[in-house]
Amino acid sequence: MAKKITTAKRRRRAEENGYHDSDDDIDDSPVLRSLQPCTDKKYETQLEFWDEEGPLKKKIGLSDATRPKHYLTLENYMYLERQLWQEDGHEYKHEGYRVLISAKLKCHVYTPARLGEISESSVRSGTGKGLRYKDTTLLVAWKDSKPELRWGMKREFAKGMQDKASQRPTHILYEDVPNQLLVVNPMLFMISIFLAAGAVKHYQTVKQLLAIKPPDDQSYWILNWADYVLEKPVFPEMSVDDSPNDKIQTGTGFSSQLTELSLQAGIQHPITVYSMRRESLIQATGNSYSKDELTKFAAHTNRVTLQRDYLSSITNVDSQACFLKLPTRSDFAENFRSMTVKRNPELFLSLPAKVQDDLRQTEDYKDIEGKISSISSQLKNIADEYSIRELTRQRDQLFT
């Protein structure tokens, strides 16, 4: 197979054949039709030109540096849950938000769902599109001769699958998680949300739900949603005066909550949903699922995407055991992925409120705060790039 031509080499060839930069035929008018096959085929190539060889990069010196990938491993995830339920002094607008945040965390760490597939995406602002009750199914099934609640969520707005309804994945969360802390059980939190919304037809209390058993001649029993909640979001917005309303929580709103929670938990760089999605996909690849199953799980239309954009450069292959002819392990790499999420338990926002207040009264704190304010004022009046970088570096040191 011939070696792939790099973007730079492709551009040189084009220039030798008379190509020149011109945007005379480009405007901002939307084109409301599908790409033609010949255009679609070359789309990725043109995108590479724009990213790597575009005129803006040369004119204003755009950086081609990429942000390091972070992975929300089980250890890092537990920092967030402990902060929410054991150490959090934060007062939310509505106490139900604590349950909602914990439930949403589980939807993102137990599945590879993207932010805009559960919350309202910023590109669909005002549409109310996200995870709705009609996109989900609740049932009770037998597990080891005991009834178990299970909840299936379909990613109805999976990226790139607008015209592929049959390919949109459905993920199942379930009740039975033996030998684990109660806080990691997804159904505990989902059932709280369902009952608060009056969503389960004919059942209003936890006692009623836990008493349900499938019929003797069936392995499961579907619990229907109340008709009036079918179009409602599973994760709505909440306010001080109201119970959860009919308006879906936006992705921006949940991201802000996630940022605040990360900092309060001592995590230096806020966690994103993408760091959860990456780890979810890595864990799935290490459990002998077929490539087709993994592609469906990720909601990808191209097998290459998983390897190229999501898998860590930290390999899970146990070459040491292979060489020594020992049983292979799969646990040795996770600590190194955990390290990508840097945590400092002594970060200011992770301290209790009283400790924060006491710290603000100290002379050292006031002195540092004054220096930061002074540098920020200087930055507003300086145009020299070197001075800006130097002052920014000094301010960053004061922040840390």
Q: How far is CA 343 from the centre of its chain?
A: 18
Cα 324 to Cα 317, 319, 327: the distances in Å are 13, 9, 9
Which pLDDT value is given to residue 52? 61
- Show pLDDT as tens, one digit a residue, over the chain (400 residues): 456 677 677 777 777 777 666 666 667 777 777 777 777 767 777 666 666 656 666 666 667 677 788 888 888 899 899 989 888 777 777 888 889 999 999 999 888 888 988 999 888 888 888 999 999 988 888 888 888 888 888 888 888 777 777 778 888 888 888 888 899 899 999 999 999 989 998 888 888 888 888 888 788 888 999 999 999 999 998 877 666 678 899 999 999 999 988 888 888 888 889 888 888 888 877 777 777 777 777 777 676 666 666 565 555 656 566 656 667 666 656 666 766 666 665 565 556 666 677 777 788 878 888 888 888 888 888 877 777 878 888 887 776 6
Into how many domains does the chain fold?
Answer: 2
> How far apart are alpha carbons 121 and 115 in whole angstroms?
7
Q: Does any domain span residue 184?
A: yes
> How far apart are alpha carbons 218 and 196 in whole angstroms?
29
Which pLDDT value is given to residue 3? 62
| Domain encompassing residue 166 | 66-349
Q: Hey, how many other C-beta atoms are within 10 angstroms of the C-beta on 135?
A: 20
Quote the DSSP letter at residue 157: T
Q: Does any domain span residue 14?
A: no
For the purposes of burial, counting CB atoms within 10 Å of the CB of 261, is it exposed (0-12), middle (13-18) or buried (19 or more)? buried
Which pLDDT value is given to residue 105? 93
Which residue intervals of the chain are DSSP H helices? 7-16, 37-41, 43-53, 55-60, 74-82, 96-109, 186-196, 206-210, 251-264, 273-285, 291-298, 303-305, 319-324, 334-338, 353-360, 363-380, 385-399
Shared domain check, 374 and 241: no
Quote the DSSP letter at residue 349: G
Shared domain check, 279 and 372: no
For the purposes of burial, counting CB atoms within 10 Å of the CB of 69, is it exposed (0-12), middle (13-18) or buried (19 or more)? middle
Domain of residue 323, CATH code: 1.10.443.10
Q: Does any domain span residue 43?
A: no
Q: Hey, how many other C-beta atoms are within 10 angstroms of the C-beta on 280?
A: 21
Chain length of the chain: 400
Quote the DSSP letter at residue 236: B
The 3-state DSSP class for residue 179 equals coil
Shared domain check, 292 and 375: no
Shared domain check, 318 and 389: no
Shared domain check, 392 and 301: no
Q: Does any domain span residue 144?
A: yes
Q: Does any domain span residue 128?
A: yes
> How far apart are alpha carbons 83 and 102 in whole angstroms?
11
Vertex 116 angle, CA 300 and 299, to 5°? 15
Q: Does any domain span residue 345?
A: yes
Shared domain check, 272 and 205: yes
Q: Does any domain span residue 41?
A: no
For the purposes of burial, counting CB atoms within 10 Å of the CB of 12, is it exposed (0-12), middle (13-18) or buried (19 or more)? middle
Give the side-chain half-sphere CA count within 13 A for 347: 17
Shared domain check, 204 and 262: yes
Shared domain check, 375 and 229: no
Residue for token pair 């760089």? 269
Vertex 280 angle, CA 164 and 283, to 5°? 120
CA dihedral 285, 286, 288, 290 (to 10 degrees): 10
- Kindly give the pairing relationship between strand 146-154 and strand 170-174: antiparallel
Shared domain check, 92 and 208: yes
The 3-state DSSP class for residue 101 equals helix
Shared domain check, 256 and 213: yes
The 3-state DSSP class for residue 115 equals helix
User: Closest by alpha carbon to 266, among 330, 374, 352?
Assistant: 352
Shared domain check, 375 and 342: no
Residue for token pair 């049959």? 166
Residue for token pair 């890595």? 282
What strands lie across the sheet with 136-143, from one edge to the other? 170-174, 146-154, 136-143, 220-223
The 3-state DSSP class for residue 200 equals strand
DSSP for 123-142, written as a single string: GGTTS--S-BGGGEEEEEEE
Q: Are 382 and 388 in contact (CB under 8 A)?
A: yes
Shared domain check, 282 and 223: yes
* CA diameter of the chain: 78
